[in-house]
Amino acid sequence: MKDSSEYGAKLKKLCNRLQRSGGKVEVMEGQDIVTEILLACLSVYTTESKARTALSKLRSSCVDYNELRVHRISEVMEVLGKNFPQSRDAARQLLALLQSIYSKEDCLDLEHLKDVGKREGKAYLESLDGSSTYMVSRATLFGLGGHAFPINEQMLTMLREEEVVDKDASEAEVQGFLERQFTASRIHKVYALLRQYADDFKPAKSKKVAKKQAASKKATTKKSKTKKSGTTKSAKKVTKKKSTNSNKKTKKRTTKKKS
């Protein structure tokens, strides 16, 4: 990525700003490799918190990952719930990966990858059916303890809008840039910091839409009040007119009676 040193300084400033904000950041601890693979299938589409909740629901719906492996896509989608974003894609990838692991290992245990080199472990993950860049990076960082920086679309949007990466750089270029900025001893903490910020980040477009909707709602309310006020005034005029006419008729009858 061009101007890496300039963007590196901006990225450092962003991290310092987030650390000074005082918000509590929970550094994510790695779990078994298969679990990290499944979390990758979910967290690429949603926040870290919601991904973990979704995985808990999946685990509660079956005895183990082997039972989950034989679920249909529609069954996984049902457990995830209708509000889970791109649930069909998540379910399809998740099941494809479980099946691929089972076909290779005759079980769903990849802990032996921790005993081989990081390069070999990463190559194995890349060979799985349903593999993706984000999944490999996530499982490498948290499952294998390797040096990687998984980024999803939400994080990429945040980094671009904060202008800490070149807006024209590809996802692969941005990921490579991030991996070069942080040492292995810091990368977990920095990832947790940026991931948490990205999960809560509201893109400028969303802010603009929200502002427009609020203005529209305010205008509608104002118009409704004006219309209501006009109706009330009209009603008062009609009532007043009726009252005047009634008084005239009463007065006329009284005058006639006197005659």
d(CA 90, CA 110): 21
Which structural domain, as residue segments, surrounds residue 194?
Answer: 4-200
Same domain, 23 and 107: yes
Domain boundary among 163, 178, 200: 200
H/E run at residue 52: helix 48-60
Total domain count, the chain? 2
Same domain, 181 and 236: no
Same domain, 58 and 34: yes
Query: Would residue 205 count as lying in a domain?
Result: no
Does the reported pTM lie above 0.85? no
Domain boundary among 154, 176, 200: 200
Domain boundary among 200, 225, 240: 200
- Under 8 Å CB-to-CB from 1, ≥6 apart: which residues? 7, 165, 166, 169, 173, 174, 176, 177
Same domain, 165 and 236: no
**Spans of the chain, pLDDT less than 70:** 23, 205-259
What integer pLDDT is reported at residue 256 of this predicted model? 47
Same domain, 114 and 161: yes
Same domain, 169 and 242: no
With contact defined as beta carbons under 8 Å apart, do 67 and 166 qualify? no
What integer pLDDT is reported at residue 224 of this predicted model? 59
- The CATH code of the domain that includes 185 is 1.10.340.30
pLDDT single digits (tens) 18-46: 989 876 777 777 889 999 999 999 999 99
